[in-house]
Amino acid sequence: MRFKFANDENMIISPNTIRRALRRQGLVARVKKKKPLLRKRHRIARLKFARKYRDWTVRKVIWSDESKFMIWNSDGREWCWRDPKLPITSQHVKPTVKYGKESVMVWACFGYFGVGLCCKIDGRMNGINDVIFQHDNDPKHAAHETKEVVEDDLWNKVQQVWNEVDVEFCLKLIDTMPQRIADVLKASGGYTRW
């Protein structure tokens, strides 16, 4: 924006002036959410799915996905709020260690009646004869080899937390499906808040 004014209007405006003007308009700065790239074919597929299942009954659906659990928190950016006049405390720091890249990759499912299996993934995920594995088109499902270092303590904790998930939590997630589909339709297959 600053360069547009400099080039088109021959005006030099500081970044702070631009930020103040944006704030006066009610805009706020946020870290961008990481989401998979949506190409045109993805948007078309999402829109087709949303139109097809607009009036879907979700009681017979089993939802599944995989996730990586890290021993040392997230491998992405973390933010905190603090008073700059006070000293930094442990809650204001993201600790790093030379080791600690250990993680557990799991696949799990849930449905209308609660949680289902939670499986540790060792090696690669692939199909089994006469079984259809429905997934979310993530490229790692087709990878030739998946190398993960697994810590038993982390796996045990993931299993424990998974088994503590109650039916009400699953129902709350499932109940958001009509709104998710409506949001995909409204965004013409594009990004949504979900």
Each residue of 22-72: pLDDT tens digit? 889 888 877 777 788 889 999 999 999 999 988 877 777 888 888 887 766
84 and 131 in a common domain: yes
pLDDT tier for residue 142 given thresholds of 50, 70 and 90:
very low
Q: What three-state secondary structure class fits 64?
A: strand
Whether pTM exceeds 0.85: no
- Residue 172 class from Cβ within 10 Å (0-12 exposed, 13-18 middle, 19+ buried)? exposed
176 and 88 in a common domain: yes
6 and 39 in a common domain: no
8 and 57 in a common domain: no
114 and 134 in a common domain: yes
The predicted structure's pLDDT at residue 182: 92
130 and 86 in a common domain: yes
Say how many domains are in the chain: 2
39 and 24 in a common domain: no
Q: What values do phi and psi take at 36, rounded to 5?
A: -60, 145
76 and 10 in a common domain: no
Please state, rounded to an integer, the average pLDDT across all residues of the chain. 75
The predicted structure's pLDDT at residue 41: 94
Q: Which of 37-41, 86-90, 155-159 has the lowest mean pLDDT?
A: 86-90
Asked whether residue 193 is assigned to any structural domain, the reply reads: no
74 and 6 in a common domain: no
Tokens read off for 134: 């429905």
Query: Which of 4-8, 138-142, 144-148: highest mean pLDDT?
Result: 4-8
What distances in angstroms separate CA 136 from CA 23, 33, 53, 140, 145, one per listed residue?
38, 19, 16, 10, 18
pLDDT tier for residue 130 given thresholds of 50, 70 and 90:
very low
Which CATH number belongs to the domain containing residue 137 in this structure? Answer: 3.30.420.10
96 and 7 in a common domain: no
**DSSP result, 125-167:** ----TT--------GGGG-S-------HHHHHHHHHHHHT--H
Provide the domain limits for residue 15. 1-30
